[in-house]
């Protein structure tokens, strides 16, 4: 004779066990999320404490690349300045950059920089080769900000030559009070713009092929 299996009716005890298991599973998931959030928070804090720092753009010397008030993620981890990088420069003992300034590296030690200006034409040369910046709109069409000392110059050992992208409105290595920059005054390389979020962008080196 075949036996028919009938479902076991739920009792108050089995219902309570199911509810307890559901609450336990929810609590476990909740605590796992809290733990994961705590780990991520600590990791981000350590990252910004020891690897990346935030710097704010002050002024208009890097327009149209960077604008006043934007925040940059900057790192100096294993960094050596390279032609084309955007860098933060700061040295409280130096008049020209006692406050942090943001510039672009044009040349490094041993390279020769020449700037030739005639009327509204600007020509920048590094080691005798003209730097093609036509795609980057670094130069406004009004009066040119001319160098304050004689060019060409060779960048001394351990120093860099920098310019602002807004070449007509930038205090940079063309000015005597700034001149070439000791690499020890380079706080780090600007990796990306993080604020405003609508303009968040990782910076590419415009001079790399």
Which positions are catalytic? 61, 103
Place of tokens 């160098």: 147
Question: Taking the chain, what is the end-to-end CA distance rounded to the nearest angstrom?
Answer: 85
- Cβ atoms of 30 and 22 closer than 8 Å: no
Omega of the bond leading into 87 within 30 degrees of 0 (cis): no
Binning the chain into helix, strand and coil, the percentages to the nearest 5 are 25, 30, 50
- Cβ atoms of 71 and 194 closer than 8 Å: yes
How many C-beta atoms lie closer than 10 Å to residue 41's C-beta? 10
How many CA atoms lie less than 13 Å away from 186 in the CB half-sphere?
27
């Amino acid at each position: 004779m075949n036996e028919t299996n009938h479902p076991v009716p739920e009792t108050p005890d089995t219902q309570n066990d199911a509810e307890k298991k559901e609450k336990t599973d929810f609590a476990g998931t909740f605590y796992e999320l809290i733990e994961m959030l705590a780990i991520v928070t600590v990791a981000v804090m350590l990252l910004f404490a020891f690897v990346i720092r935030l710097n704010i753009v002050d002024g208009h010397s890097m327009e149209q690349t960077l604008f006043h008030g934007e925040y940059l993620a900057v790192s100096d981890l294993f960094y050596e300045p390279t032609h084309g990088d955007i860098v933060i420069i700061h040295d409280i003992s130096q008049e020209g950059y006692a406050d942090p300034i943001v510039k672009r590296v044009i040349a490094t030690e041993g390279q020769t920089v020449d700037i030739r200006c005639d009327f509204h034409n600007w020509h920048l040369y590094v080691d005798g080769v003209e730097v093609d910046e036509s795609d980057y709109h670094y130069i406004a069409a009004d009066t040119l900000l001319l160098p304050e000392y004689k060019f060409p110059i060779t960048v001394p050992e351990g120093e860099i030559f920098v310019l602002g992208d807004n070449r007509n409105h930038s205090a940079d290595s063309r000015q005597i009070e700034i001149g070439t920059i000791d690499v020890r005054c380079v706080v780090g390389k600007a990796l990306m713009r993080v604020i405003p979020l609508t303009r968040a962008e990782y910076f590419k080196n415009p001079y790399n092929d």
